[in-house]
Chain A
Amino acid sequence: MKKTTIAYIVFFAVMALIPFVSNNLWITIATTFCIFSVVALSVDIVLGRAGMFDMGHAVFFGLGAYATAIMNVHFEMNILMAIQVAILLPAIVAIVISSPIVHLRGDYLLVATVGFNIVFVQMLRNNFLGLTGGDDGIFGVDAEALGLYLDDPMIVYFMAFTLLLLTLLVIRNLEKSKAGRALHYVQEDPIASESIGINTRFYRVFSFSLGAAIAGLAGFIFTIQYTAVSPSAFDFMTSVMFFAIVLVGGKASIPGILAGTFIMFVLPEVFKGFETYRYFVFGIAMIVSMVLRPQGIFPAKYGKLPKYVTEDK
């Protein structure tokens, strides 16, 4: 067996065992890790694979979370039924807001996505349409469904872990498919891509929409975990963190992104005393890691082909 396969098996086994060998605090940390990894992986679809500088992805994470809370609290929808809104709303919003901007070159796109993030948070804070609850957000989400309290740490953990597994599966399939390859082609050379028949615009919007749907799902579980949402969790700083995770870990690299999420979100929980120094140390870490490994901790590898392409007949 290859080393990476073993590493994955060990990783999944540890993740599956966590709730049985540790206390609630650790289960909560592990849940956060799963949810944030999913968001980071969804940012990677846009940033790492399609190569668009998306620094506003917290919008889609937040849309999923708020959609869940709003549907449940204001419209008394069962929490599990809210899942469809939590997927579809971010996906549709992503199509609407990304369509006019995907043709922008690198930094301009980055600024536009930052702009969307700031407008989004201001809408949340100003109690948009009387639904978002202002600065305090929305409390009292009813997480009871199928006779279970879904906000129980153990249940939330398994939901988050399942979501992580599903996301990894989807990304693995994406990598091997025509659409996933097209994202890389569009990133490397849009003109050459068009010349062989790849609709660059479609795939750029597609990456935003797929990334948004996955981030929305993560938001759904995030809301269940805290049975509440508030604007500060989705501000522009959150987007910056995810942006940094992808690049520090390595674009289009699953182990890199998992490692990045671990460093950025789990380590600070372990060293609680260092809370105030957290971002100060991150700042140093970001500079040092980029200077030492400009391609990320685990850069993505190309040239993985199905066996039958090269083996002798």
Chain B
Amino acid sequence: MDIFIQQIVNGLTIGSIFALVALGYTMVYGVMKLINFAHGDMVALSAYVGLVLYTQFVGSGMPQAFIIILVFLITALIIAAAGVILERLAYRPLRNAPRLSAVVSALGASMLIQNGIMLYWGPNILTFPIGIFPETSWVIFGATITFIQAFMLILTVVLMVSLTMFINFTKYGTAIRASSINQDAAKLMGINVNMVVTIIFIIGAVLGSVGGLFIGIYYRGIEFTLGWNYGLSAFIAAILGGIGNIPGSMVGGYLLGLFTALISGYVSSVWAEAFTYILLIVILIFRPTGILGERVAEKV
């Protein structure tokens, strides 16, 4: 029982990362119908940028909490800028091209960023220092929850609530929802779709940067390929929830986190990845539009 609850806590923690990263995929897909393969690599980039910033600031005598806030904010800014540049250079010119061309461009962007990281920071694992957060932990129902985990869970929930409010209650949120339902109609109604795309790339990048920093502070070791590894898992989470569906991605992220944690805890960790993908394929076969997605019939 203790293991079970412990795995639930761990699952929710990983699930937070998946959910944050999944939102970036799902929002871009919702509006542009494009799998942004480079999103995972943006997440990786944010972990590297965060590490550099932290090492810069750590000896400066600023209070630790202030340093952490600063690292999160500056990383988010840099990744958001990178996201906007990526969209301008690699996706915008292909807005009216065949869909597969944009997919290849996205794959190219992914390779470019991933190998850019490798060339700049080297192919070896870099480690986040210990002591970024207090070593405190609590025991609840027999499961240990560390300070880092609590921080991740709470920050994720805060971000998700903010995003939900933004999407549902602001003018920009309405524009995003309208564009994801029907881009042409949105354009006719005077919505600037280019602006909407820029906004979703910024939001996706900001959430992804938090995810990337979480990966760094939680697992500590970061590698240039982490974008693919976490990116694909997050993408699965987005599909589980129904790609294009924002609350779906949040739910999908946590579900996938729990599933992975329970499989590694009870079955086998060497097969965990395979099980995840088998789950994905089964879901795709029986509910291709995800757990929360709607079924769409083609009009003849």
A residues sitting closer than 8 Å to B (CB atoms) are 53, 100-101, 104-108, 110-112, 114-116, 118-119, 122-123, 125-126, 191, 240, 243-244, 247-248, 251, 276-280, 282-287, 290-291, 294-295
B80-125 contacts to A (CB < 8 Å) = 89-90, 93-94, 97-105, 107-116, 118-119
Q: CB-CB < 8 A to A107: which residues of B?
A: 29, 33, 35, 243
Q: CB-CB < 8 A to B116: which residues of A?
A: 280
Q: How far, in angstroms, from A111 to B240 measured CA to CA in the complex?
A: 12
Q: How far, in angstroms, from A257 to B161 measured CA to CA in the complex?
A: 48
A247 and B100 form a contact (CB under 8 A): yes
Smallest Cβ distance from A298 to chain B, in angstroms?
15
Q: CB-CB < 8 A to B100: which residues of A?
A: 53, 247, 251
Q: Looking at the complex, which one of A126, A240, A276 makes contact with B107 (CB distance below 8 Å)?
A: A240
A119 and B288 form a contact (CB under 8 A): no
B300 and A112 form a contact (CB under 8 A): no
B285 and A100 form a contact (CB under 8 A): yes
B101 and A118 form a contact (CB under 8 A): no
Q: Looking at the complex, which one of A111, A123, A279, A287 makes contact with B235 (CB distance below 8 Å)?
A: A111
Q: CB-CB < 8 A to B33: which residues of A?
A: 107
Q: How far, in angstroms, from A119 to B112 measured CA to CA in the complex?
A: 26
Smallest Cβ distance from A271 to chain B, in angstroms?
16
B271 and A248 form a contact (CB under 8 A): no
The contact size tier of chain B is 35 or more
Main secondary structure of the interface of B (DSSP, over half): helix
Residue B278, interface by CB 8 Å:
yes
Q: CB-CB < 8 A to B277: which residues of A?
A: 114-116, 118-119
Q: CB-CB < 8 A to A119: which residues of B?
A: 274, 277-278, 281
Q: How far, in angstroms, from A114 to B236 measured CA to CA in the complex?
A: 11
Q: How far, in angstroms, from A287 to B90 measured CA to CA in the complex?
A: 6
A/B interface sample: 6 pairs, CB < 8 A: A107-B33, A118-B273, A123-B274, A283-B113, A284-B108, A284-B112
B3-21 contacts to A (CB < 8 Å) = none
Q: B98, B232, B273, B277: which has the most chain A beta carbons within 10 Å? A: B277
A110 and B35 form a contact (CB under 8 A): yes
Q: How far, in angstroms, from A28 to B97 measured CA to CA in the complex?
A: 38
Q: CB-CB < 8 A to B109: which residues of A?
A: 283, 287
Q: How far, in angstroms, from A281 to B115 measured CA to CA in the complex?
A: 9
Residue B239, interface by CB 8 Å:
yes
Q: How far, in angstroms, from A278 to B118 measured CA to CA in the complex?
A: 12
Interface string of B216-254 (1 = CB under 8 A from A): 000000000000000010011001000100000000000
